[in-house]
Structures are given as structure tokens and as C-alpha cells.
Structure 1
Amino acid sequence: MSLPKTIMVIGAVLIIVGFFMHFIKLGRLPGDIMIKNENTTFYFPIVTSIVVSIVLSGIFYFISRFK
């Protein structure tokens, strides 16, 4: 795969992930860890990370399959 194709695929994936995070609230799934104190907030989106990993694995599997 050439460099321009790779960059276009990465850009398309980022647009899709951005769409999901903005419109479907992908970053606030049940199971994401959020700790709020008086002055600080710690947020670790563990379930969101797992979902994004599964989706990206599927996308890259199909891209490599039809190469």
C-alpha cells in the first residue's frame, strides 16, 4: 500500500471515530472510569477504548483482506 493511500485510510478512520464520539457520545459509555474531586477530574474511557479497538481491528482486517 502506498503512502498516500495509507494517509487517506487513516484520515477516513479518524473522521469516522470523530463522528461517533461527537454524535453518538462514544466517549461516555457505561464502564468508563470517571473520578471527580474538588479540583481535579480523572477520566479513563476503558470501555470506549475497547469498542474503538474492536472496530478498528475489523476495519483493518477487511482492508488487508481486500488488498
Structure 2
Amino acid sequence: MAVGLEGIGRLLIGAAVVLLVLGVLFLLLGRFGLDRLPGDIVIRRGNFTLYFPIGLMILLSILGTIILNLLFRR
């Protein structure tokens, strides 16, 4: 199945919109103080910092599951 340039263009625009929404979401989460939740792992060693946001990932997973269940409910 061949995809024309029009299909590729729509795919790229859709991907850009998704990235824009995710970017705005993360900016808003940071402003509301949800960038550091309980359960997040931060390791600092000299000039190296590892930040692993387990609490934020769990929260986003729960919210995503609820939203997708509401959208795709039959």
C-alpha cells in the first residue's frame, strides 16, 4: 500500500500536534509542582544527575488510561 506525500504530510502534522500537546502538558505539570512527586528517584554524583520520575510516570499512566477508556468506550 503506497502512501502519497499528502498522507506523509498529515502524519507529520499529527505528530507535531501530539508533541505540542505533550510539551504544554509537561510545562503545566511543572508549574503546578508535579515535576517532583513522591517515588521519583534523583541520583547526584559530582556533575552527573540522574532523574527517574517513577511517580510522575505512574500518574500519567493512570490519567492516560482513564482518558483512553472514556474515549474508546463502546
TM-score range, shorter chain: 0.5 to 0.7
> If each structure's helix is expressed as a fraction of its own residues, which one has the higher value?
1
Aligned residues: 61
2:54 alignment partner AA: I
5+ residue gaps, structure 2: 1-9
TM-score by length of 2: 0.62
**Matched-pair identity in %:** 37
TM-score by length of 1: 0.68
5+ residue gaps, structure 1: none
Residue 38 of structure 1 and its aligned partner are, at CA, apart by 0.8
**CA separation of 1:19/1:58 partners in 2, compared to 1, >3 Å: closer, same or farther?**
farther
CA RMSD of aligned residues (A): 2.7
Between 1 and 2, higher relative CO (CA 8 Å, sep ≥ 6) is seen in 1
Q: Which has the larger radius of gyration?
A: 2
* 1-structure distance, mates of 2:41, 2:28: 19
4+ residue runs over 2 A deviation:
9-20
